[in-house]
Structures are given as C-alpha cells and as structure tokens.
Structure 1
C-alpha cells in the first residue's frame, strides 16, 4: 500500500527528474520527433484556436491556461519566456519584448483579429541535435511562422513572415519522453568566427658562420679534451690491507626440549577485552538505518506533494481571477448598452441577461483536482513517515539497551576462562 501512495505522488507532484547524463540513440530520436510534433502540430493548433472566432471566450481562456499548467494539453513550461511577435512592428524589426507565456497568449487573444479559418501557419520545421543541459536534455527547433490576419490596433500594417527558434526541454515520465517549450525567440543566424590574422614570425637571426681559424682550432681543442681520456694510466695498486675479519658468532646451542611448566592461574582481576559486534546489535543497527531512511523519504515526498498542490492552486486561482474579471467587464459593457437609447425596454430585468461565472471547481477542472489529491497524498505520506520514524526510535532504544548490557558484562580473555592449572610452554 505504501508503494501505491508513493507512485501516486510521483505521478502528480511533477517534480523534475534527475538529469540524464547519457542518452541512447533511440532516446535522441524520440526526443527530436516529439519536439517536432509539439511545435509543428500542438503549437500551431493552440495559436489558431486562440485566433478562432468559433469558440467562446471562456473556452479560449481555459485552453490557454491548460497549455502551461500541468495537464494533458500542456506544451509550455510554466516559466517559459517568449519574445513577442503579436504586433506587425515586431515581425518587421525582428525584435519584441520578452514576456511570459500567459501574457503572450493574452496579447494574441486581444490584439490579433479572429477568423473561422486557420490564419497562423507554421512551416519549415527543423530540429537540432539533442544537447545535454545542467538538469535536462534539450533541443532547438527552428521554424517559419506567418500571420495572415491583421492587428486590431494597426490594420494598415501587415505581418511579415519570420523565422523563430523554440527551445524545448525533455523529461522522462513513466518511461516516455515529455517535451515542453521553455522559450521562443526570433531566429538569429550563428555568427561565423572571423579568421584570426596570423602574426608573421620574425625570422630567426642566422647563426654566425664559424671562421676558418675556429674551424681549424676546433679539432685541436677536441683533441686536447680527449687526450687525457686516451692516455689514462692505471693507478698504482694500493698495498693490500689485512682483511678485517668479523668475529664469528658462536654456535647457537640447540634449543632445549619443551618442558611443560606447571603454573597456577594468575590471581588478578578479570581482563577486559574489546567488545565484539553481536548479530543482534548488527540487526538493530540495520533496522534503525532502514526506517530512518524511509521516514526521510516519505516526509520529503509529502512536502513536495503539498508544494505541488499549492502551486497548482495558485496558478488555477490566478486564471480564475482573470476569467471573472473578463466576465465582469463584459457585464459592465452590456449594462452600458442596455441603458443606452432604451435598448433594454423590451428585455425585462437587466440581471436576467448578465453572464454568470462558473465556480472555481468547474472552471479549473480537471487541474483543480490535483490540489486535493496533492494535499491528501501529502498527508498520507507524512503519516507514513511518522510511523517509520517511530519504528526507528523504538529500535534505537533497543540498541542502546543492548550496548549497555555489553558494557557492564566483563569479557574474560581466553587465558583466564579456565580455572585451576594452566600448561604453558616456555622456550
């Protein structure tokens, strides 16, 4: 049962996994294929859905939020930064402000004119080789994007096709690679390194030619140097010195036969020898370490589950606040229209026609359920960690008692365990 709860936590806490240090060729192919699919299909569908007038504002807001919060439709990392291209001026200058993904989608929703047909085209998708980052492997995806409709506030300017670069990180979840966009910017061609001008080396100064006299004198000098070596006469033999003789060691007498000597046991206090680790103590130490480790893991997992649930609630609550603000703004505009020129004379009470916001549970479903699941999982894991910690404490108390028993029990040496006479061989 405890492994079931641990699996539940790992599936919902969306904590980053350890960085992959070595990737197989199959992993690299899978990451590249998934990255291409995210940009070419999912990103294109998301942008065209936001720019479509065939969906209500509430549905659009929900799809936008699900694209960067943990859900089945998530394609952006929650902290993604995008270089804005929602204005024609940005596409002309190939430069825009860096905004968060939520702000980028809101700008696209507010300022880009909507149509029934797809008006945003992504093509010429090219994926680089997989690279290893500090925490996750990642790839760069270069692509071309074309906005066919116009900007609401700048209808006289047309969008220019631009090249973009998306960075995507890969994380293995349940034995499958999940790829998320961490940033998008305008494509910048790599700057070629300028060739380094080689400094001409100053020619070495030629060595002076030896003069004729030096040439003629050199053999003589060599001859002078070699003459002592050739004409070496043997040194006169030294007079022989009398050999120094070391005194011979006297022959060692043969060892006498071993005679048993009868001695009585020494009358002294018992000799204390170092304590030996008993199997019982070893078993208790292993149990203490085991349950202490389990307690730490469960409590860390519980804390992570609660943090994940809190983060999900904060994101969902923020999106819900924006959604309610939009509803209130729509109702205010409706009241203004209703009161002007007697438009509401034939419609009855104005409150009957106002839009009513959904509850936060209905709005945030299914992501809101992760909040409750995270809190429940965190409580269960914390309770399991407390149980493991109690077991570790109990076994630690037993271990201390065992050690105290050993410390007050005298351990006699082997020569003193026997009473009476001892036979000792003396050499």
Structure 2
C-alpha cells in the first residue's frame, strides 16, 4: 500500500518537475480534511470508488467528443469546457488548476523526449481549436483499469486508459498514435458518500506508475456505468 502511495506521489511530482522545466504554473491539488484517512473506507466504498472513477474517464471521453462535434455551437462547446472544472452536474475535474499532459499535439506521445503540461481549460480549448472536428465520435478511451484505492493521509487512486484520436490535427501534418494515459483521482466524502474527482492526467510511465501490472494492462476491461 505504501508503494502505491509513493507511486502516485511520484506521478504528481513528475508533473511538477515538468512544469518547472517549462516555467509553467505548477499543479495545485487542494485536499480537504473530508478526504483524510480518518474516514475509513470499507471494501464496498473502494469498489464503488473504482467503478465511479472508471465512469469518470468515460465522461472525459464524452466531453472530448462533444468539444470536437462540428454540429455544436462555439458557445455550447465553451459551456461544456467550463462546466467540466467548475461546480456543476457535469464537473469531472477538481478545478481550473488541474494539469493535463498535452496529447493534442501529435508530436507528444508515450516516451517522447519533450512534453508539455497545460491547465485543463487550455487543454480543452486546444482540442477545440486544433483538432479536426467530425460528426461521428472520433475519440475513444479503452482498456480502462483502476488501481487499488489507497488510504494514506488522503484517498487516491489512478486510472489507466488507452486514448485514440481518429481525426487529425489541423496545423500539424502528423498522424496520431494510440497512447497510454493515466488519470490521478482524488476521493472526498460528500453527504456520506465517497466521490471521485480528477486532479491530473498524463502519459503512462511504467517507471512512475508502478501501481499497475504491465501484463494485466494488456487485458481490456470494459468500463460500465455504476
């Protein structure tokens, strides 16, 4: 369990280091006392959190496809973006300071020497501006797998998923590659229930994300709604 916590912490520190390298605003993760380990999770709580967190990744996929839907107005797309990180029924990100490792630029992939971390609003706006829109859904997240839920000072888990962009970048003449991604999810107790929220998203790095068994990642898990 301690190793899992250290791996998650290492993942967040990696984002911090990258932000410093590129002189970007560092990730800010606000952790309220309601998520502290004093509120013990039962096995049922942990199973529920894993399922809810998995469904959040599908909500993230849906959001990406809404933003890349040419039938929607600019105002509608901007509304989806804002609601994803502000208090609303559609919120999936903790706040506007959530950091996402860029994959809208097809030059950034797993194992790239260079990387770019941006705040969630910038990331989603870049998707809106630079990803060629298609009427049918062109972004898919598959093989979604949650880590164990960890209880240390706070409650966390990581969600592995594979992302595929089937359209193209309108400014960079380079095809997208299927990528391996990891979302870090924080859990807080709200009205007696443990609720997840995404605090960062980046590329999967085996040396950092040691909470996942690489062999098991080859087996696809179908995400279902809770």
SS in structure 2 at match of 1:90: coil
Q: Any conservation in 2 of the 1:127–1:142 contact (CA below 8 Å)?
A: yes
Offset at residue 20 of structure 1 (A): 3.0
Q: Distance in 2 between matches of 1:149 and 1:48?
A: 11
Offset at residue 23 of structure 1 (A): 1.5
Offset at residue 54 of structure 1 (A): 1.3
SS in structure 1 at match of 2:94: strand
Q: Distance in 1 between matches of 2:47 and 2:110?
A: 35
Q: Distance in 2 between matches of 1:113 and 1:107?
A: 11
Offset at residue 171 of structure 1 (A): 0.9
Q: Distance in 2 between matches of 1:165 and 1:112?
A: 21
Aligned position for 1:150: 168
TM-score (norm 2): 0.73
Q: Distance in 1 between matches of 2:89 and 2:141?
A: 22
Q: Distance in 1 between matches of 2:138 and 2:188?
A: 32
Aligned position for 1:24: 42
Q: Distance in 1 between matches of 2:186 and 2:56?
A: 11
Offset at residue 177 of structure 1 (A): 2.1
Offset at residue 93 of structure 1 (A): 5.2
Which of 90, 108, 114 lines up with 1:73 in the alignment? 90
2:72 is the alignment partner of 1:55: yes
Q: Distance in 2 between matches of 1:66 and 1:16?
A: 25
The structure that is strand-richer by fraction is 2
Which of 157, 169, 172 lines up with 1:139 in the alignment? 157
Q: Any conservation in 2 of the 1:92–1:159 contact (CA below 8 Å)?
A: no
Provide Cα deviations, 1:56-85, integer angstroms capped at 9, x if missing partner: 000000110000001111000112111111
2:117 is the alignment partner of 1:98: yes
Aligned position for 2:136: 117
SS in structure 1 at match of 2:72: coil
Offset at residue 118 of structure 1 (A): 0.4
Q: Larger Rg: 1 or 2?
A: 1
Offset at residue 121 of structure 1 (A): 0.6
The structure that is helix-richer by fraction is 1
Map 1:22-421 to 2 at 5 A.
22-39=40-57, 41-78=58-95, 79-91=97-109, 94=112, 95-134=114-153, 136-154=154-172, 156-190=173-207
Change over 3 Å in CA distance of 1:18–1:172 after alignment to 2: closer
> Larger relative CO (CA 8 A, sep 6+): 1 or 2?
2
Q: Which runs of no fewer than 5 residues in structure 1 stay unpaired?
A: 1-14, 194-427
Q: Distance in 2 between matches of 1:18 and 1:82?
A: 23
Q: Which runs of no fewer than 5 residues in structure 2 stay unpaired?
A: 1-31, 211-226
